[in-house]
């Protein structure tokens, strides 16, 4: 910026080009802000399109359900006056026949059947078969002819399901993922016990994530303390071993655990060699050979190994900033080493502990590869069911609803952490 001139007769300080100094300063500040915005804009756009937009789409897909409304418009309108107590009237069946003929022509009967099959198991094939046969119906009465095609159309529950599915937006997927369902009158109730599976999946996901987080804390805290208090040369060598898992992919590490824990593998041989297998058989805790592969034990051990650095490094970074003088002062005032460590040192590491545990817990919630490879059928977490809903069932509504539940659990955890600890106290380095 040009140098300011001396005060002229009007008393206004001006730049070399005659512009008032205040105006010149505002222009310079504006240019700096625009430069800073230009630097930040690419990162901001990346976050919007790679993070915010997918979340919005997921939230939208969890409640958007147009399959029935778009392909059965006349039936949807006719069902509005139905009280839900008995088989619908002739008018509804006439509209149903017209919609099914149009859907068969547009090859959409399978889409209708897929949507209804989410609530009534096995109805998809019946909808497809009905779509092929309604073409032979030329005139009424339609009710008897449609029921003659398949008895499922003579059941009020079938029409209640169609009526519930007649809106473009529905809470069905989210309620189903919470083992709830909506009745024809709009009330919500729990599904029968033999069909309630998703709450247990959520509890399993949270339980495994919490257990892995606690294990990484128990294992990582002493190592972090040793790294922070050791001489620099020794600490550097130990840090290499801590960071070693980062140098290989998640799939390679999980596959390595699969090899180690397979029946007759390294772990089983080590248990034989040390006599652990003999002792466990002796006390009745084991019957025969140890089975480690495809168990909850294998899942937790593999996840703990992978997540350990994520818990350890934030704790270590905070410990490095703690001056040794605090412990010396506590000991000089009469505190024992253990008491001084517990009352003086540990509280100062809590921001790192909270950051590491929160990071590990959130990452564990989204695990898919490790439970799928080394875990059994009862060890699969929510991410595995999301993958199955997308790739095997082609049910994006279900997958999005599970994602919403996982996102909600993460936000609740973040809220609780902020209330108990305070997000301003979290330190990652």
The whole-number pLDDT of residue 426 equals: 57
Residue 12 forms part of a structural domain? yes
Among 106, 113, 78, 110, CA closest to 94: 78
Confidence class for position 1, pLDDT limits 50, 70, 90: very low
How many CA atoms does the CB half-sphere of 373 hold within 13 Å? 19
Token digits of residue 286: 């084991």
Reference 76, options 124, 112, 120; nearest CA is 112
pLDDT-derived band of residue 86, with 50, 70 and 90 as boundaries? Answer: confident
219 shares its domain with 348? yes
Q: Do residue 46 and residue 71 come from a single domain?
A: no
* pLDDT for the residue 2: 47
Rounded CA separation 139/137 (Å):
6
* Domain assignment present for 178: no
List the domain range (segments joined by +) for residue 403. Answer: 198-425
pLDDT bin (cut points 50, 70, 90) of residue 15 is low
pLDDT tens for each residue of 194-210: 888 898 999 999 999 99
Q: What is the pLDDT of residues 345-393, one digit of tens each?
A: 988 898 889 889 988 999 999 899 899 999 888 889 999 999 999 888 8
DSSP string, 5-31: PPP-TT---B-TTS-BHHHHHHHHHHH
Q: How confident is the model over 274-313, as pLDDT tens digits?
A: 888 887 777 776 777 777 888 888 999 999 999 999 999 9
Residue 152: predicted pLDDT: 93
Distance CA 164, CA 184 (A): 7
Residue pLDDT, tens place only, 135-144: 898 887 899 9
Indicate if 166 and 224 belong to the same structural domain.
no
Lowest mean pLDDT among 51-55, 201-205, 326-330: 326-330
Judgement on whether residues 386 and 402 belong to the same structural domain of the protein: yes
- Whole-prediction pTM: 0.81
Answer yes or no: is 183 within a domain.
Answer: no
The SS3 assignment for 298 reads helix
Is residue 184 a part of any domain in this protein? no
**Arithmetic mean of pLDDT, 45-55:** 91
Q: Are residues 253 and 319 in the same domain?
A: yes
- Top pLDDT among 180 and 24 is at 180
Q: What is the mean pLDDT of the chain?
A: 86
For residue 294, what is the domain's CATH number?
1.10.3720.10
The fraction of the chain above a pLDDT of 90, given in percent, is: 36
Mean predicted confidence (pLDDT) in 8-14: 62
10, 33, 61: which is the final residue of a domain? 61
Are 233 and 360 in the same domain?
A: yes
Under a CB-based contact definition with an 8 Å cutoff, are residues 29 and 368 in contact? no
pLDDT tens for 60-70 read 999 998 999 99
What is the C-alpha separation between 168 and 146, in angstroms, rounded?
A: 26
Residues 241, 133 share a domain? no
Over residues 8-19, mean pLDDT: 65
Contact 188, 175 (CB under 8 A): yes
DSSP single-letter state for residue 180: E
Residues constituting the chain: 429
92-115 burial, b at 16+ Cβ within 10 Å, e below that, comes to: bbbbbbbbbebbbeeebbebbbbb
Domain membership flag for residue 272: yes
Residues 6+ apart with CB under 8 A from 275: none
8-state DSSP, 167? S
Residues 158 and 127 in one domain: yes
Is 181 among the domain residues?
no
| Cα torsion 380, 384, 389, 391: sign | negative
Q: How much is the pLDDT for 323?
A: 86
C-alpha span between 384 and 139 (Å, rounded) = 49
Q: What pLDDT does residue 339 have?
A: 85
Do both 324 and 370 map to the same domain? yes
Q: Would the pLDDT of 427 be above 70?
A: no
pLDDT of residue 302: 92
Give the mean model confidence (pLDDT) for residues 266-271.
82
How many domains in the chain? Answer: 3
**21 burial class (0-12, 13-18, 19+ CB within 10 angstroms)?**
middle
Neighbours of 272 (CB within 10 A): 14
Residues 314-323: tens digit of each pLDDT = 999 999 988 8
Pair 356, 314: CB distance under 8 Å = yes
User: With 0-12 CB in 10 A as exposed, 13-18 as middle and 19+ as buried, what is 257?
Assistant: buried
Residue 304 inside a domain? The answer is yes
Residues 346 and 253 in one domain: yes
- Shared domain check, 375 and 331: yes
**Closest residue by Cα to residue 222 from 324, 346, 118:** 346
Q: CA–CA distance from 327 to each of 181, 259, 312, 332, 342 (Å)?
A: 58, 45, 21, 9, 10
Q: Is the peptide bond before 141 cis (omega within 30 degrees of 0)?
A: yes
In this structure, is residue 418 part of a structural domain? yes
Mark whether 238 and 139 lie in a shared domain.
no
């Amino acid at each position: 910026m040009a140098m300011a001139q001396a005060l002229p007769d009007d008393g206004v300080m001006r730049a070399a080009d005659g512009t008032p100094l205040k105006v010149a300063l505002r222009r310079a500040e504006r240019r700096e802000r625009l430069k800073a915005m230009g630097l930040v804009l690419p990162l901001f756009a990346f976050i919007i399109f790679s993070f915010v937009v997918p979340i919005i789409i997921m939230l939208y897909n969890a409640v958007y359900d147009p399959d029935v409304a778009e392909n059965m418009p006349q039936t949807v309108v006719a069902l509005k006056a139905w009280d839900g107590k008995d088989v619908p009237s002739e008018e509804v069946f006439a509209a149903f026949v017209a919609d099914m003929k149009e859907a068969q022509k547009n090859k959409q009967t399978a889409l209708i059947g897929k949507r209804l099959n989410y609530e009534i198991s096995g109805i998809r094939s019946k909808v497809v078969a009905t779509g092929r046969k309604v073409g032979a119906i030329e005139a009424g009465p339609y009710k008897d002819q449609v029921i003659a095609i398949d008895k499922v159309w003579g059941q009020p529950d079938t029409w209640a399901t169609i009526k519930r599915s007649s809106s473009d937006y529905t809470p069905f997927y989210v309620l189903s993922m919470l083992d709830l369902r909506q009745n024809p009158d709009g009330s919500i109730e729990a599904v029968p016990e033999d069909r309630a599976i998703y709450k247990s999946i959520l509890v399993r996901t949270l339980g495994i994530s919490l257990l892995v987080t606690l294990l990484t804390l128990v294992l990582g805290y002493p190592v972090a303390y040793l790294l922070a208090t050791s001489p620099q040369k020794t600490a550097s060598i130990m840090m290499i071993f801590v960071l070693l898992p980062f140098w290989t992919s998640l799939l390679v590490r999980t596959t390595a655990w699969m090899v180690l824990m397979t029946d007759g593998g390294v772990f089983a041989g080590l248990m034989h060699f040390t006599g652990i297998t003999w002792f466990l058989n002796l006390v009745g805790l084991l019957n025969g050979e140890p089975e480690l592969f495809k168990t909850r034990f294998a899942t937790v051990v593999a996840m703990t190994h992978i997540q350990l650095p994520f818990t350890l490094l934030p704790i270590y970074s905070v410990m490095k900033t703690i001056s040794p003088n605090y412990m010396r002062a506590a000991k000089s005032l009469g505190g024992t080493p253990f008491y001084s460590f517990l009352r003086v040192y540990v509280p100062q590491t809590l921001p790192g502990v909270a950051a590491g545990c929160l990071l590990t817990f959130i990452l564990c919630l989204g695990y898919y590869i490790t439970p799928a490879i080394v875990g059994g059928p009862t060890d699969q977490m929510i991410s595995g069911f999301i993958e199955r809903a997308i790739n095997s069932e082609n049910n994006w509504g279900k997958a999005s609803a599970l994602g919403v539940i996982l996102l909600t659990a993460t936000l609740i955890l973040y809220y609780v952490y902020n209330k108990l600890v305070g997000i301003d106290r979290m330190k990652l380095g």
